Chain A
Amino acid sequence: MRQMKRKNFRTAGFKWLLGAIAVGFVGVATPVHAEDMFGNEAVQFPVDTTVEFEFKESHGAYLSTLGVVNLDTGEQTVLFQEVKPYDAFGSGQPQSSSPGQNNIGTAIDFLGTVDGGAVQNRLSEYTFKANTRYAFYLESVSPTGQTRRSVRSTTNLAAAFNGRLDGGTNEEITGVRIAWDDAGLPQPGKDEDFDDFVIEAGGFPPVPCPPIR
């Protein structure tokens, strides 16, 4: 009996410690999340999620602003804003116009870049609240100021999503590319160049805690 008591005392201590350690390490495990939505139909996450965005390029003579709109409250947040409609604006350099063609990766059709000064920030980020519906919006103003357009990513006539937020880099696209057509409304003679404003989102997911052996 005395031996049993001693043994129990010894093993109880170990059981507690090992149990505590096991619980501790289980608690570190990354929780499984419900499906993320990041496309034309919706931008919504089951948990608070921060996404880093990168401005790639713009084409066209319009001055554009891109941002996030909370569809529940209508609140808008600017991510990228052109300070001039294209890089060579005001320089007197002639611009080759190519409406209706996708000119991503070329200098054709009023190219706007960060390096050229059309947009000042290359990166931007936004924290999407859990279970809240969002969309992206693009506002464009013509050089004369007479034409103003506003389109949302909720239509595939305006925004084309390509990639995955955790997809890394695939064929020159990191994460999700969102390519815009600023005339993204059903209308006769509408072009579908989807190069008027091009951004990319995410690419690399959060890294879980290192495994402890």
Chain B
Amino acid sequence: MHTIKSLGWVVGLSIVALGIAAPARADRSYSDITGTNIWNNTAPVFDTDDKLDPELTANITRLNQESQAAFQACGAALTQQTPTSRRFTRQPQTPPAVPQACQRLEQLRAEVENLRTTLQQKDISRASSGLRTW
């Protein structure tokens, strides 16, 4: 009795989980299976062969490599700059200067944002290209 109850729970939860996991897709196309002839009506996606700009790829790779190096350098600089103890002084203290390595990391972050925008624009133009059949 206990086992049956448990099994019931498992099956029930599995159904719920599958229901949640399956994403709702409004643009999904279904094959026409009415009548005697069954046609697969899924829109064909033609290989547009519009390769990614190699320069863009190289730029992304470079950014990744440079940012990894800059991130490590920034971390090391901050560790070196961090004082060993807190300090309460008689005069107001000036904030420590941002290490040069961290400034470079900031520059790279700005570059990434620009590149992200470029890529998003490319994605939009690819998606709205006239190569879709319907």
Which residues in A have their C-beta under 8 angstroms from that of B68? 16-17, 20
Interface contacts (Cβ under 8 Å), in number, total 107
CB <8 Å contact, A17 and B63: yes
- Secondary structure of the A contact surface, majority rule: mixed
By a beta-carbon cutoff of 8 Å, the part of chain A in contact with chain B is 2, 6-7, 10, 13-14, 16-18, 20-21, 24, 27-28, 33, 45, 47-52, 54, 123, 127, 165-166, 168, 174-175, 200-210, 212
- Quick one: which of A16, A54, A165, A209 has the most chain B CB within 10 A? A209
CB <8 Å contact, A51 and B116: no
**Other than the known A175-B88, A200-B90, A209-B98, what 8 A-B pairs have Cβ atoms closer than 8 Å?**
A17-B63, A17-B64, A21-B105, A47-B85, A50-B87, A51-B88, A204-B88, A206-B88
Q: Which of B3-11, B18-26, B71-79 contacts A (4 or more CB under 8 A)?
A: B71-79
Give the contacting residue for B90; candidates A47, A52, A207; CB below 8 A: A52
Number of interface residues of B (CB under 8 A): 36
CB <8 Å contact, A10 and B83: no
In Å, the complex CA distance between A56 and B88 comes to: 17
Q: How far is the CB of B54 from chain A (nearest CB, A)?
A: 12
Give the contacting residue for B60; candidates A13, A28, A212; CB below 8 A: A13
A-B CB proximity, top 7 nearest: A202-B88, A48-B85, A207-B95, A50-B87, A20-B71, A13-B64, A49-B86
Is B91 among interface residues, defined by CB-CB distance under 8 A? yes
CB <8 Å contact, B95 and A210: yes
In Å, the complex CA distance between A50 and B93 comes to: 13
